[in-house]
Structure 1
Amino acid sequence: MAEHAITVFLAFFAIMNPIANTAVFAGLTGDKSKAEQRHIATKALIITFVIILLFAALGKSIFDLFGITLPALRITGGILVFLVGYHMLQGSNSKLHTEQDDGDSDIAVSPLAVPLLAGPGTIATAMNYSASGGWAAISITCL
């Protein structure tokens, strides 16, 4: 169990990339007060947690519904992780890291919660680790 918890933590840390996302958060909320920044961060983290919780809890059901096997998800997740790493090494700017002013847009939901924190790589990781075991693996993945 401890090994599974450490593995899940390191995988989420690598996929979510909190160091780079801190800079993105600062760039998107630099003109806001500390209270507004705290509110945006809290809202983004709650939304991210709910999304990951849903995909972790419903991962096996989603696999069964679409006929996806765990090895197929692992291959696809590996490709996603490779592409994210490749783009990070290239230093190319992402459209996700810039704020698009849509009037009433909520940056806590997009781009912070989805897709930066709870993007396809994070969702695939949560589904992968929760589908590999029972309720114990789901609860370790969500904690």
Structure 2
Amino acid sequence: MTEILQHAITVFLGYFAIMNPVANTAVFVGLTANMPDLRRRQTAYKALFTSFMIVLVFALLGNMIFHLFGITLPALRIAGGILVFMIGYQMLHGESSKMHEADDDANSGDIAISPLAVPLLAGPGTIATSMNFAAESGWYMPIITVAMFACLCIITWFCFIFGPNIIRIIGDNGLNIVTRLMGLILAVIGCQMVIDGATTVFH
């Protein structure tokens, strides 16, 4: 039971750091500033539901994807760890990751799908993290991975809905501090993924 709880906390904190609900709330508020409340809620729901389904597919079908493309778990951990570390490194310096930025023409389509769902919420780092957590030994790992992401989606939904109030309270300085803290956590998680993958290869 202790192992399950520890894994659940690790997964939740990993997702929290890589999704960074507070920073993404600022992006959401900016993209939906001219929308009525009902459409803004619908956009938040669609974006989070889409990102959840993406993570669900990769978490549950990770092993099948491995076999289909001939990918090994150590290779995923090393590549995913480098990817997550790069995102964390950029956030640690107060920059938004290039892999989590909106395109200039984002408003020409459905912003709930792009850029909100992909790449802001379910970007490459999130997908790699999901597959890494779900692929660990134990039948319950994919279930915990999906459940923790679902919890974070609920939290993020509330952040989106009350976004203007949250941004007003924490201010720009608070947003920068949160972004840097999440970047530090991501960088550490990325290093650990690389160490785990490299250790498995050498053994």
TM-score by length of 2: 0.65
- CA offsets 1:81-127 (integer angstroms, 9 cap, x no match): 12112222344455824652564x00000000011100011001110
Three-state SS of the structure 1 residue aligned to 2:101 is: helix
Q: CA deviation at 1:65?
A: 1.5
Q: CA distance change for structure 1 residues 135 and 26 in 2, over 3 Å: closer, same or farther? A: same
**Which residue of the partner structure matches residue 36 of structure 2?**
33
- Paired with 2:86 and 2:6, the residues of 1 have a C-alpha distance of 27
Q: Hey, which of these two has a bigger chunk of helix by percent?
A: 2
- The answer (yes or no) to whether the contact 2:80–2:125 under 8 Å persists in 1 is yes
The Cα RMSD (Å) is: 1.8
Q: What residue identity is the alignment partner of 2:64?
A: S
Task: Report % sequence identity.
Answer: 59
- The runs of at least 4 aligned residues of structure 1 exceeding 4 Å deviation read 92-95
- CA offsets 1:124-143 (integer angstroms, 9 cap, x no match): 11101111134311111001
Q: CA distance change for structure 1 residues 23 and 3 in 2, over 3 Å: closer, same or farther? A: same
Is 2:138 the counterpart of 1:129? no
TM-score by length of 1: 0.90
Q: What residue identity is the alignment partner of 1:142?
A: V
How many residues align? The count is 142
Matching of residues 65-76 of structure 1 within 5 Å? 65-76=68-79
Which runs of 5 or more structure 2 residues have no equivalent in the other structure? 148-203
- The answer (yes or no) to whether the contact 1:99–1:107 under 8 Å persists in 2 is no
- The answer (yes or no) to whether the contact 2:59–2:131 under 8 Å persists in 1 is yes
- Paired with 2:19 and 2:128, the residues of 1 have a C-alpha distance of 12
